[in-house]
Amino acid sequence: MKKLHFAHALLPDGWAAGVRITVDDQGRIAAVDADMPADGCEAHAGIALPGLPNLHSHAFQRGMAGLAERRGATEENFWGWRQVMYRFLAVLDPDDVAAIAAQAYVEMVESGFTSVAEFHYLHHAPGGGRYGDPAEMAAAIGRAAAESGIGVTHLPVFYGFGGFGGGAPEPGQRRFVTAPDEFQRIVAASRHALRDLPDAMVGVAPHSIRAVTPGTLAEVVDAAAAVPIHIHIAEQQREVDECLAWSGRRSVDWLLDEMPVDGRWCLVHATHVSAGEVSRIAASGAVAGLCPITEANLGDGLYPLPAFLARGGRLGVGSDSNVRIDAAEELRLLEYGQRLRDQMRNVVVSHADRSTGRALCDLALAGGAQATGRAVGRLAPGHRADIVMLDPEHPALVGRQGDHWLDGWLFAADGRAIDRVWIGGRAVVERGRHLLRESVRRRFARTMRRLLEN
Ligand SMILES: [Zn+2]
């Protein structure tokens, strides 16, 4: 048992002072007690928050961050970016993926993300040949997760086809296309490969409606039982148009008509949705997986947040392409996009005198925990001891109290507001730096030099 003591902490019931958190040998919170002396504890003068779950990541894409920011000869949108991404991933081997993912995860942890849902579609060898172990690449993700300490929900991706209704895949998709039976072998092997990661969850991710057929999607969903199910949906208007042409229905309507969408599901992006679809997502209990930095970078569009929240919709945030990795920035940009569109402030808050920073954190903690299918997002017994500690002396936080700390962190601070991070009760960040930052960065640098020379 380990006992941590914090000057202040955000508990499920609100702010508390003199908080003692007892962590068991499995990294779970055994007890939380407020108004306690620090005697016999490892004492910290900071502000403890539950670590944020990152509900959508493609870790390898951290290696191409900033490499698609010049105008090309073809279309300047998501589809043009995707071609750059396909060229980048074509040569990556498992060690490259482990090196890039470790860098991404260290940056996530330093920014306040303590768990990640890894939407993993890079299954096969360069050219599409099969590895002897179907979980070769999942194991690379597992090595990166173990090194960084981040909690993992691994989501092997089912990618069956290159377009709506069973279109042929294009050459750039050879490393991820599988038949449904091969996919089930990848899922089983991934479970085995990640068995030693503390409290890891393995879910499934049908890539998108355009990458499945109704029959193969049903097969994947039926086999998933109680685990998280994530899917990209309606990220681009073109995808919705193609779905309409194929089925006569919009993407989200099609999914909700055809599949038993419920609280296990995370609909990633869901950017282009009608008023009816917004209501239906909220009523389904599924989480909307919003990725504000990537959606801005790719020119995707803006989610209709006020209508969704008015219907009690659940949401979380993800770093997706990892072009920037910063938990506070994702939440800030989520709010700022809505402000720019609607020409108003404090959009996510429905009641007067409530804090926008608190509302954003509450939404992302609850929705992120639900989407990752792990006991995270609350400083409460039975949950993982994933704790982010803010520095109360940071210029954006000093002299404040309660929810003003969250507003200061999300809207006014830089990355140095986070002093320490524990994951599963284990210290991984001290004075703002991951304990393995230098060695992970050196290996990442060697990998990137070699990749970019070729
Ligand atoms: Zn994605």
Residue type, 346: N
Nearest to 222 by CA among 194, 176, 264: 264
**Quick one: pLDDT at residue 70?**
82
> Chain-wide mean pLDDT for the chain?
96
Q: Which two tokens stand for residue 284?
A: 């389904």
The tokens for 394 are: 């940071």
Average pLDDT of 42-65?
97
d(CA 230, CA 204): 7
Give the start-to-end residue ranges of the domains of the chain: 2-50+387-423, 52-372
Residue 453: what pLDDT?
Answer: 87
Average pLDDT score over residue span 120-142: 96
Place of tokens 């173990």: 146
Catalytic residue positions, numbered = 269, 320
Residues 345 and 432: their CA atoms lie apart, in Å, by 31
What does the DSSP assignment read for 268-331?
EE--S--HHHHHHHHHHTPEEEE-HHHHHHTT-----HHHHHHTT-EEEE--BT-SS--HHHHH
Q: Would you place residue 84 in the very low, low, confident or very high pLDDT band (cuts 50, 70, 90)? A: confident
Q: Read off the amino acid at residue 279.
A: S
30 C-alpha to ligand 1 centroid (Å): 35
DSSP result, 114-170:
EEEEEEE---S-GGGPPPSSTTHHHHHHHHHHHHH--EEEEEEEEB--SBTTTBPPP
What would the mean pLDDT of 225-250 be, rounded to a whole number? Answer: 96
Model confidence at 218: pLDDT above 90: yes
> Given this model, what pLDDT does residue 215 score?
97
**Distance from residue 300's CA to the centre of ligand 1 (Å):** 12
CB within 8 Å of 25: residues ≥ 6 apart:
1
Ligand 1 centroid vs 353 CA: distance in angstroms?
35
> What is the distance in A from the centroid of ligand 1 to the CA of 294?
9
Task: Please report the pLDDT score of residue 353 as a whole number.
Answer: 82
User: Ligand 1 centroid vs 423 CA: distance in angstroms?
Assistant: 25
The whole-number pLDDT of residue 5 equals 98
CATH superfamily, with its number, for domain 2-50+387-423: Urease, subunit C, domain 1 (2.30.40.10)
> Pick from 173, 183, 181, 264: which is nearest to 210 by CA?
173
**Residue 399 alpha carbon to ligand 1 centre in Å:** 39
Distance of CA 332 from the midpoint of ligand 1 (Å): 20
DSSP label at residue 82? H
Helix (H) or strand (E) segment spanning residue 453: helix 437-453
pLDDT cut 70: percent of the chain above it: 99
CA of 277 to the centre of ligand 1 (A): 20
Lowest pLDDT segment from 61-70, 193-202, 313-322: 61-70
Q: Which residues pair with 115 in a beta bridge?
A: 53, 151
Q: Evaluate if residue 454 carries a pLDDT over 70.
A: no
pLDDT tens digits along 294-347: 999 999 999 999 999 999 999 999 999 999 999 999 999 999 999 999 999 999
Q: What is the pLDDT of residues 352-388, one digit of tens each?
A: 889 999 999 999 999 999 999 999 999 999 999 999 9
- CA distances to 33, 191, 379, 425 from 341, rounded to whole Å, are 43, 43, 35, 41
- 217 has a pLDDT exceeding 80: yes
Task: Write the CATH number of the domain with boundaries 52-372.
Answer: 3.20.20.140
Do residues 441 and 132 make contact, with C-beta atoms less than 8 angstroms apart?
A: no
Question: What is the Å distance from ligand 1's center to 39 Cα?
Answer: 46
CA of 287 to the centre of ligand 1 (A): 15
Q: Which phi and psi angles does 303 have, rounded to 5°?
A: -75, 140
| pTM score | 0.97
